[in-house]
Chains A and B, each alone.
Chain A
Amino acid sequence: MLTSRDVSSLVIDRLCDQAQGQNVAVACFYFDFAAQREQPSTSMLGALLKQVVSGMEEVPGEIAKAYENQKRVIGGRRPELSDILKMLQTISSENLTFICIDALDECAAEHRVKVLDSLHQIRQKSPGTRIFVTGRPHIQDEIGRRISGRLTTIRITPKRDDVIGYLRARLGEDTNPDAMDSSLEADILKKIPNDISEMYVYATTPRKLLRVIH
């Protein structure tokens, strides 16, 4: 209903909307348990750099040069973490940079350390860089320990409007609309409390939801 992925994508869209035409760079990354092997820290940070670069009119000279140089090595050579970090540091010192990372807790622990340390180093060079991270509560301490600066937390929990929006969308795509009549729908929408608790998250059908609310 309201996943951290939704929130991350919403934040990214909002940042991108406001970034247009200004010296602002936005990069995002979505971690995924199922793809842990394919998401090592080097590829992840490289992906951040890639997004920032693709938004630029011209590839920064430093990066173009590094790319040309590696082509001379037989078979080519992927950039190393330290190279990527340096390039990210350069760009973030010239542009206000926003980095959004979804589900950091789904990144493998050994890579998470490297990701957080890299973010810390980017922020050391450019203290204006802002980072948005989502994840389960237990990784909060780890983030605070590894990245300097104030850590603000915000709880992602569905609000009344989220539930209504979600219910409306789901009811709209119901393949069996006869099971729901307008009075039941109105009743459900009316009875949704302002601060919905997690209890309702487990209600799996409109009727069950109604029962829970009663």
Chain B
Amino acid sequence: MGADVWELDWAVLRYPGVSIKAPLFFSSSQFHQLTNSIIYPPPLSKQQKMAHKYSFNTIDSHNKVWNNCTITDGRSQLLTWLSPLEPSLRHQDIRERRIGGVGEWLLQTEEFRSWRSGSGEDESDGAVLFGHGDPGVGKTFIW
């Protein structure tokens, strides 16, 4: 019985959202009947798990999501092929350490606004906005 429960946990753990609510008083054979009727997709890699939020409740949609995972996997391989670098992760890292409100004034400047909205008769006006700072200001902390 203990092993059966562990198996159930295993299924739920691997595929959160698949709610197979087997009561604890299920007999071993009942439990096996239930679990044997499910075709388990191969376990997901850590990356796939992170790439996907699971929102499925039935066994049918469970399989559908499995297919999606295959597609997602192909897509992530394609993205890695384009470049091994992950600037979005770096961005997340930097923004989490950013102190709220700091630098906000820059977004209010005329320079930034007109660059963003591309004002001016010629589209190419204000094409490039260059923010410069001396290393002391730009790269170090005050303590």
Contacts and interface: CB of A to CB of B under 8 A. Distances in A.
Interface of A: 1-15, 27-30, 38-39, 42-51, 53-54, 59, 63-64, 67, 70, 76, 78-79, 84, 123, 127-137, 140, 143, 147-159, 161-162, 165-166, 169-170, 198, 200-205, 209
A133 B137 CA distance: 16
B50 interface: no
Given A43-B83, A136-B138, A204 B143 contact: yes
Those 8 A-B pairs whose CB atoms lie nearest each other, nearest first: A46-B83, A149-B127, A156-B133, A47-B83, A149-B124, A134-B131, A47-B85, A204-B143
Of the candidates A2, A79, A201, A204, the one having the most CB atoms from chain B within 10 angstroms of its own CB is A2
Contacts of B103: 2, 6-7, 10, 156, 162
Given A136-B134, A153-B131, 6 more contacts: A10-B98, A28-B87, A79-B81, A136-B135, A154-B129, A155-B132
Contact of B131 (A132, A150, A158, A198): A132
Contacts of A53: 78-79, 82
B131 A154 contact: yes
Contacts of B124: 123, 127, 148-150
A151 B135 contact: no
B133 A10 contact: no
Contacts of B111: 152-154
B56 interface: no
Interface of B: 75, 78-79, 81-88, 90-91, 94-95, 98-107, 109, 111-112, 114-116, 118, 123-143
The A interface is mostly helix, strand or loop, or mixed, namely helix
Contact of A49 (B83, B115, B127): B83
Nearest to B114: A152
B125 A136 contact: no
B87 A1 contact: no
A205 B91 CA distance: 29
Nearest to B100: A165
